[in-house]
């Protein structure tokens, strides 16, 4: 026959209800900042993704610019009109963000220094030229053969904050007629 | 008076330990996010260094195209031990050895060397551009581009 002793059950040790309530309360309070962290992590990941997309766009556009024929690259400040394989202006990327791509293209005056060689003297030895065979330093100045290309990509982050990345390179005109 | 049991309050101790563990995990998560953000800056600096070094190389190639003769004789003068002056002048242009101060700062230098070739007929030149770029966040990048240009020497009217 089953004999239940109620007096023994009363003395059994365990976790009391107030303990459980206090513990749950502490856990809930601790979860609030942790949940905030998770949200922050998600936002930071999206922000990173937008920046990476902009950098990739910058690299691709610059590479395209370097492979375009020199004479077809427009000159000016903040150019937003696309040409050939180069996309400029407002571009909507696959992540849904609109990027503003602007090109600044300007001629750079280049001075190339060299010592001319006088090959028409009787003492000139073509296999072993001497410093005396060279004239004083001359400079070849080119005003329209090198372009300074500066590309800026900007986009709007949260709270209407504009962010931008930019890069700089040069493009030379190899199709120029040599003197 | 009620006797104090050694097991009372264990739940709170357990929860506090668990909470501490979660906070440590959270802080390490934040740290990993901040490190990832810096990695993006690295990519931009690296791309900028590549593009700028490529641009300087283009200018150097333009000089070689415009003025091949002075390089040929200047390199020959040096190779025969007659002096470095003409080659130093050729390589020392301000446009090929300078610095840029933009949203980053960069210093670059260019050298021209002649490679062994069939004298009088071939002309193989190597252009080396070395660029050091520093981003505002203090990260530094170095790029070296080497490009060999092969040419054929012809006398005018030949």
Q: Map out the domains of chain A as residue ranges.
A: 17-176
Q: Which two tokens stand for residue B114?
A: 């002649």
In-domain check, residue B3 = no
Identify all chain A residues contacting B7, using CB atoms and an 8 Å cutoff.
Answer: 13
Q: Strands of chain B (E only): list them.
A: 98-101, 105-115, 122-134, 140-152
Residue indicated by tokens 């301000």: B94
Query: According to the model, what pLDDT value does residue A54 have?
Result: 93
Query: According to the model, what pLDDT value does residue A40 have?
Result: 75
Best mutation target, A110, A127, A142, A143, to test chain B (most B CBs within 10 A): A110
Which residues does residue A104 pair with via DSSP β-bridges, in sequence order? A150
* Helix H or strand E encompassing A39: helix A17-67
Contact A170 B55 (CB under 8 A): yes
Q: Residue B84 carries which DSSP code?
A: S
Identify all chain B residues contacting A39, using CB atoms and an 8 Å cutoff.
Answer: none
Closest C-alpha to A152, from A138, A163, A139: A163
Q: Are B123 and B151 in contact (CB under 8 A)?
A: yes
Q: Could you report the per-residue pLDDT of A11-44, keeping only the tens digit for each? A: 556 667 777 788 788 888 878 877 777 777 778 7
Nearest-by-Cβ selection for A112 from B5, B66, B77: B66
**Mean pLDDT to the nearest integer, A160-178:** 87
Distance from CA of B26 to the nearest CA of A (A): 6
Q: Are B77 and A114 in contact (CB under 8 A)?
A: no
- Report chain B's mean pLDDT, rounded to a whole number: 82
Q: Which two tokens stand for residue B4?
A: 């104090």
Q: Could you report the per-residue pLDDT of A71-95, keeping only the tens digit for each? A: 999 999 999 999 999 999 999 988 8
Identify all chain A residues contacting B6, using CB atoms and an 8 Å cutoff.
Answer: none
In this predicted complex, what is the ipTM?
0.77
Over 50: is that where the pLDDT of A1 sits?
no
Which range of residues forms the domain containing residue B36? 8-152
Distance from CA of B12 to the nearest CA of A (A): 5
Query: According to the model, what pLDDT value does residue A2 have?
Result: 47
Contact B7 A13 (CB under 8 A): yes
- Report chain A's mean pLDDT, rounded to a whole number: 85
Which residues does residue A114 pair with via DSSP β-bridges, in sequence order? A138
Closest C-alpha to B128, from B116, B138, B143: B143
Q: Which residue of B has its CA nearest to A55?
A: B44
Using CA atoms, how far apart are residues A123 and A97, in angstroms rounded to an integer? 70
- Counted across chains A and B, CB pairs separated by less than 8 A come out at 176
Q: Are A170 and A151 in contact (CB under 8 A)?
A: no
Best mutation target, A41, A73, A170, to test chain B (most B CBs within 10 A): A170
Distance from CA of B125 to the nearest CA of A (A): 16
To the nearest 10 degrees (0 to 180), the angle between helices B10-66 and B68-79 is 100
Q: In this predicted model, which residue has the larger pLDDT, A117 or A101?
A: A101
Best mutation target, B2, B73, B98, to test chain A (most A CBs within 10 A): B73
Closest C-alpha to B61, from B144, B4, B118, B146: B146
Count of other CB atoms within 10 angstroms of residue B28: 10
Q: Could you report the per-residue pLDDT of A102-161, keeping only the tens digit for each? A: 999 999 999 999 999 888 888 888 888 888 888 899 999 999 999 999 999 999 987 788
Query: According to the model, what pLDDT value does residue B39 have?
Result: 59
Count of other CB atoms within 10 angstroms of residue A56: 14
- Mean pLDDT per block of 10 residues along chain B (158 residues) reads 62 81 82 66 83 94 90 88 89 90 89 76 85 88 90 61
Q: Are B95 and A140 in contact (CB under 8 A)?
A: no
Using CA atoms, how far apart are residues B86 and A81, in angstroms rounded to an integer? 45
Q: Which two tokens stand for residue A104?
A: 């600044």
Contact A115 B7 (CB under 8 A): no
Query: According to the model, what pLDDT value does residue A10 have?
Result: 54
Domain count, chain B: 1
pTM attached to this predicted model: 0.77
Identify all chain B residues contacting A70, using CB atoms and an 8 Å cutoff.
Answer: none
Which value, to the nearest 10 degrees, does the dihedral of the CA atoms of residues A16, A22, A28, A33 take? -140
Q: Could you report the per-residue pLDDT of A45-55, keeping only the tens digit for each? A: 888 889 889 99
Contact A131 B7 (CB under 8 A): no
**Percent of chain A, pLDDT > 70?**
90
Using CA atoms, how far apart are residues B117 and A165, in angstroms rounded to an integer? 45
């Amino acid at each position: 026959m089953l004999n239940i002793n109620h007096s023994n059950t009363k003395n059994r040790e365990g976790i009391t209800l107030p303990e459980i309530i206090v513990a749950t309360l502490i856990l809930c309070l601790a979860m609030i900042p942790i949940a905030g962290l998770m949200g922050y992590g998600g936002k930071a990941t999206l922000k990173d993704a937008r920046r990476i997309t902009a950098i990739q766009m910058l690299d691709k556009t610059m590479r395209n610019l370097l492979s375009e024929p020199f004479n077809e690259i427009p000159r000016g400040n903040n150019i937003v009109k696309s040409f050939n394989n180069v996309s400029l202006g407002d571009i909507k990327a696959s992540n849904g963000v609109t990027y503003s791509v602007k090109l600044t293209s300007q001629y750079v005056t280049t001075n190339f220094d060299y010592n001319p060689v006088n090959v028409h003297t009787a003492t000139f030895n073509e296999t072993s030229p001497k410093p005396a065979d060279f004239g004083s330093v001359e400079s070849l100045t080119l005003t329209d053969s090198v372009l300074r290309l500066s590309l800026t990509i900007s986009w709007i982050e949260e709270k209407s904050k504009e962010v931008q990345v930019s890069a700089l390179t040069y493009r030379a005109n190899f199709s120029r007629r040599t003197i | 008076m009620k006797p104090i049991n050694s097991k009372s309050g264990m739940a709170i101790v357990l929860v506090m330990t668990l909470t501490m563990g979660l906070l440590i995990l959270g802080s390490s998560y934040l740290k990993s996010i901040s490190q990832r953000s810096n990695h993006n800056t690295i990519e931009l600096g690296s791309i900028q260094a590549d593009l700028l070094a490529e641009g300087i190389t283009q200018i150097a190639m333009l000089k070689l195209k415009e003025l091949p003769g002075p390089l040929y004789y200047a390199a020959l003068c040096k190779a025969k031990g007659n002096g470095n002056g003409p080659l130093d002048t050729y390589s020392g242009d301000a446009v090929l050895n300078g610095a840029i101060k933009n949203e980053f700062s960069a210093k670059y230098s260019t050298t021209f060397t002649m490679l062994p070739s069939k004298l009088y007929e071939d002309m193989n030149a190597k252009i080396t551009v070395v660029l050091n770029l520093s981003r505002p966040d203090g990260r530094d990048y170095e790029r070296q581009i080497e490009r060999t240009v092969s040419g054929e020497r012809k006398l005018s009217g030949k």
